[in-house]
Amino acid sequence: MSYQTEIRRQTAPDITKRKGGEPIVSLTAYHAHTAQIIDPYVDFLLVGDSLGMVMHGYESTVPVPLDLMIMHGAAVVRGSRRALVVVDMPFGSYEESPAIAFRNAARVMKETGCGAIKLEGGTRMAETIRYLTERGIPVMAHIGLTPQSVNVMGGFKTQGRRQGEWAAIEADAAAVAEAGAFAVVLEGMAELLAARITKQIPIPTIGIGASVSCDGQILVLEDMLGLNPRVPKFVKKFGELGNAIETAVKSYAEEVRARSFPAPEHVYAMRAEAPADGKPKSKKSKAAGE
């Protein structure tokens, strides 16, 4: 048995089996270092296309290129050992046809080593979800507030707050489950509707701004750590790292300006046997113990 097999990574079917059981814990991760820190505590890590806004300063997720997702996805796989890694398909990489979606999703799987991909859309993406799943690519669906459609929705708008909107969203949930998605993210949707959908479909629902009754929860890591000054209502800040970073950087700047950093313990002394003049010792002087 090799060392790699001792820690078994979670798979898409492992996540599906958790329907109705102990809540599924997940967070976004964009790089190897944070993936390594959070890997022991989560069931899956999502390399979300939110990285475009969080890490690269874009106004929305729309401009995120496929190559960027692949670069971050591979880093998260390298940094983690046990969580399933799910990589988001960015806008424009899967909507055109199931065959194009397959080509790009296969690239993501091969080049990152991730265990699944996620794509946005309900009924309209069902055919693609089936096509990918039947060809070996586990798909996590994403319905409700779908950020890649921000330009059609006219903003990041909570879904299902009027009962008249429910039927279409429930149909989306049923369609992705029926098409073979192994789980579905319910984002930015009325609490009652998310709870209802969770009861209706046979695959796990992963809530973000949805309901505590969902089968699991996800948050953007930087939001819950307090690194993002402006967060939506549904984010609970479990840490205040933004303040901690500012305090640390302020102290660093003060110490550099005061020449108190680096202190003696942070610099390298000369080795004892290396003479300060740089000239090698003669055999005679070495023997004399100089």
CB-based closest residue to ligand KIV: 48
Only one residue has tokens 């000369």, namely: 270
Residue closer to ligand KIV (CB basis): 33 or 286: 33
Residue 40 burial by CB count (10 A; 0-12/13-18/19+): exposed, middle or buried?
exposed
Contact pattern for ligand KIV over residues 205 through 224, marking x by CB under 6 A: ---x---------x-x----
Should residue 38 be labelled a site residue for ligand KIV when binding is judged by CB under 6 A? no
Q: Shortest distance, CB of residue 30 to ligand KIV, whole angstroms?
A: 9
Contact pattern for ligand KIV over residues 100 through 139, marking x by CB under 6 A: ----------------------------------------
Residue closer to ligand KIV (CB basis): 238 or 252: 238
Closest C-alpha to 133, from 196, 180, 168, 74:
180
Should residue 86 be labelled a site residue for ligand KIV when binding is judged by CB under 6 A? no
Q: Shortest distance, CB of residue 65 to ligand KIV, whole angstroms?
A: 14
Q: How far apart are CA 249 and CA 64, in angstroms?
A: 30
Q: Shortest distance, CB of residue 187 to ligand KIV, whole angstroms?
A: 6
Should residue 27 be labelled a site residue for ligand KIV when binding is judged by CB under 6 A? no
Closest C-alpha to 117, from 100, 94, 96:
94
Q: How far apart are CA 271 and CA 110, in angstroms?
A: 49
Should residue 87 be labelled a site residue for ligand KIV when binding is judged by CB under 6 A? no
Q: Shortest distance, CB of residue 262 to ligand KIV, whole angstroms?
A: 39
Residues involved in catalysis: 187
Should residue 49 be labelled a site residue for ligand KIV when binding is judged by CB under 6 A? yes
Cα-to-chain-centroid distance, residue 76: 8
Q: How many positions of this chain bind ligand KIV (CB under 6 A)?
A: 12
Q: Shortest distance, CB of residue 64 to ligand KIV, whole angstroms?
A: 9
Q: Supply φ then ψ for residue 100, to 5 degrees.
A: -65, -40
Is-contact 121 175, C-beta < 8 A? no
Q: Tell me, what amino acid is at 248?
A: A
Find all residues with CB under 8 Å of 158, minimum gap 6, and list them: 145, 188, 189, 190, 209
Should residue 88 be labelled a site residue for ligand KIV when binding is judged by CB under 6 A? yes
Q: How far apart are CA 96 and CA 265, in angstroms?
A: 59
Which residues of the shown chain bind ligand KIV in the complex (CB under 6 A)? 28, 46, 48-50, 88, 142, 185, 187, 208, 218, 220
